[in-house]
Every structure is written in structure tokens, then in C-alpha cells.
Amino acid sequence: MIRVLVVDDHPVVRAGLEAVLRAEPGIVPIGSAVGPKDALALVRRGQPDVVLLDARLGPHDGLDVCRELLTEPSPPAVLVISANVDPELDAAARAAGARGAVDKSTDLHVLFDAIRLASRPAQAA
């Protein structure tokens, strides 16, 4: 099972993502967080395999949160999610250590495939 933490400042998005993840075989949502402090606490407590992280968390930059999450002793893989993914955001997300960026309007199978791919061990560069 791939354990996924959802981090988004919009309650409807968090609930919707958790619901679709719960329905997908092999993927289990372990919870959701509203902001950086909650996300860090849940990563430490729940040890997710993958974090779906909104690019903007209210006043916080999701890419800064990504960098912070990746300093943990057993860091999760991070996928940045946004309503407006473009090549610049994808490149910035990868530069921050994320495995990539997924548009919130993408088909669910694309999201599930991205989660599965992100959960695999990183390849050495």
C-alpha cells in the first residue's frame, strides 16, 4: 500500500482528494494537513510514502514546504499539485526536490500513476 498525505489549504480539495485516493486500490490516504506545521507533524507521525502538496498554501509557498519536508530523516516523495501547472512550475518543483507537479484538473488515472511513480525509490542522477 502506498501511504499518501494530502496538504492543501482548501477543505473541499482535501476531502475530494482523500475520497478518490481511498477508492483507488493500492493507495491509502493517511490524513490531510492545512499548512506547513500540520504537514510536518503528520509526516513525522504518519510517515507517508508520498505527499501531495499544494503549490500555494495561503501565505506559504508550497515549494518552501517541500524543501522543509525533504530535510526529515526519512523524507517522503513529494508531488506538487496546482490548478495551474506549467513547465516553469514543474521545473521549480523538481528543483525544490519534488518528483514533479500534477495539475488539479488532470484525469484521476494520471494522478494515480504519478503517485505510484513517485513512490518508487529515486533513481541516482
Q: pLDDT-based confidence at 121, cuts 50/70/90?
A: confident
- Whether residue 106 is predicted with pLDDT greater than 60 in this model: the reply is yes
Q: How many CB atoms lie within 10 A of CB 73?
A: 5
Separation between Cα atoms, residue 95 and residue 18, nearest integer Å: 27
- Across 6-11, average pLDDT: 96
In a domain, 71, yes or no: yes
Separation between Cα atoms, residue 45 and residue 93, nearest integer Å: 24
Residue 55 structural domain: 1-82
In a domain, 95, yes or no: no
- Across 55-68, average pLDDT: 93
- Whether residue 40 is predicted with pLDDT greater than 60 in this model: the reply is yes
- Our count of domains for the chain comes to 1
In a domain, 122, yes or no: no
- Whether residue 122 is predicted with pLDDT greater than 90 in this model: the reply is no
In a domain, 55, yes or no: yes
In a domain, 28, yes or no: yes
- Across 10-32, average pLDDT: 97
Q: Which residues are 60's β-sheet partners?
A: 57
Separation between Cα atoms, residue 114 and residue 108, nearest integer Å: 10
- Across 30-51, average pLDDT: 96
* CATH code for the domain of 75: 3.40.50.2300
- Whether residue 125 is predicted with pLDDT greater than 90 in this model: the reply is no
In a domain, 124, yes or no: no
